[in-house]
Amino acid sequence: MDTLFTGPPNGEPLITRTRAGELPTIESHFVGKATKNGRLESWDKQLNDPVVLYDFIRAQALKHPKVVIRCKGTHQETASHTGMVISNGSPQHVHAGTKYTVVDFDFTIDLSPVLEHTENYANVHLQAKRAHVPAYRGGFQRTYGTAAAPNAFLGSVSHGKVASWSENSRWDAWAQFMKMRGRAPWSDMEADEEFRSTYNRVPSASIALGTDEEALLGGQLHNDDETPLRQWCEAYCADPGILKSFTLSKAIWGWDLANLKSAIERAILSTGYDGMLDGYNVHIDYQFDEDYQVVVRPDNWLVRIVNHPFWFVILCVTCIYPFIWIWQRLSRYGGGSYEVAVASYGMKFYPPLPSTFPGETIDHARDRLPAMFKLHPEVPRQPFLHRGPKGIHYLLGRREGEWFREWEERIRMAVRMKYSGELVNTRVAEEEEPPELDGY
């Protein structure tokens, strides 16, 4: 795929270490569960400055989300007598004849080392959602074809055409497809034959395009001037909304997670675990921990009350919140959502080798490597080289098949041992110096 070699056409420049060090201290706090729907929120007044907000978003984009694979096997048992049993890993009192769940194994594998690379952020890309992609652009409905107008009166924005239910459904399906099949967030949905054939097999789904849909899928709107992220920051800061919000979403791509999940499941079942029998279940899912989203809100008492769990319940019980909800949508001072910023992290990406050129051979590039490491320490040792559009490119990250080959037997062992906890990689990295042992 060409997206493995090039970034988004409207990519933003990443913040430099010098500029990041000059940023003022921004107060923030973590909200939600660390393993599900977690987000970092900030109500710092300094973020109402578009320059500070833009640099804050760029700095947050350099922080990789923690991604883990969780494998869990369970089965049902019937209590033979009344007493205490271990159900789902916790003590529980059950009566005779009652069914309860027994956890056979429950382990996680941290994929963060695949994403994080010291001194090399070539696999990190920051962009604003393109005009043909439906998104919340300062309102309460997803729109596309939107241009920010931060210099207009009170920072109003042109909301463009509101996406229909079928259009939103199609883009939601595309987002899930991209996630599980490793497509880059800037991939062209219209050109993806696999998605088109898959989507057409879904009942009541059709990819047949009308005039509006052709524009939506990248017809004339691909040629429109894209609104850069800095302008969206200016539009947000100029918006008078009291309950407005600005969100940075984070996504991983590059790995075929669907096929990897199937491979892990086959490895588990190959141990003899009866995951296909009635009452036995194998769960394999991907969890995004810590800072999966970054949300910026204005600092005022109404924001603090509405977003505080205790006071939110009080507002709902007293039937006050419905009036706030209506006012927020009817008044220009209510404030909508800006969900246009996306930071993406490639599990595998192929940056161009320094000083490469079209037509260079892999052998010639390999001969240049020893002298290159001194000037370019960001290039991994013994890199996997691949021919690409700019010449010779090197692999940053890991290929999913290579990773699975390394972990396959360890996964089987964890199932056999009924292991619970985090599986740790004990492999010695290839770039590390070997121990000075005779015969090693």
Predicted local confidence at residue 236, as pLDDT: 96
CA distances to 231, 371, 375, 395 from 354, rounded to whole Å, are: 32, 11, 10, 13
Per-residue burial over 106-117, b if 16 or more Cβ lie within 10 Å, else e, is bbbbebeebbbb
Predicted local confidence at residue 252, as pLDDT: 94
- Give the pairing of strands 337-346 and 245-253: parallel
Beta bridge partners of 41: 29, 295
Cα angle for residues 342, 60, 55 (degrees, 5° grid): 95
Predicted local confidence at residue 238, as pLDDT: 95
The pLDDT averaged over each successive group of 10 residues in the chain (440 residues) is: 87 89 86 66 94 96 91 84 71 76 90 88 95 91 67 45 89 93 92 84 46 42 68 95 96 94 93 72 84 90 92 94 94 94 96 94 94 90 93 95 94 93 70 55
Distance CA 6, CA 378 (A): 18
Cα angle for residues 115, 1, 285 (degrees, 5° grid): 45
Predicted local confidence at residue 426, as pLDDT: 62
Q: Token digits for 200?
A: 């057409």
Distance CA 428, CA 434 (A): 8
Predicted local confidence at residue 32, as pLDDT: 66
- DSSP reduced 3-state for 67: strand
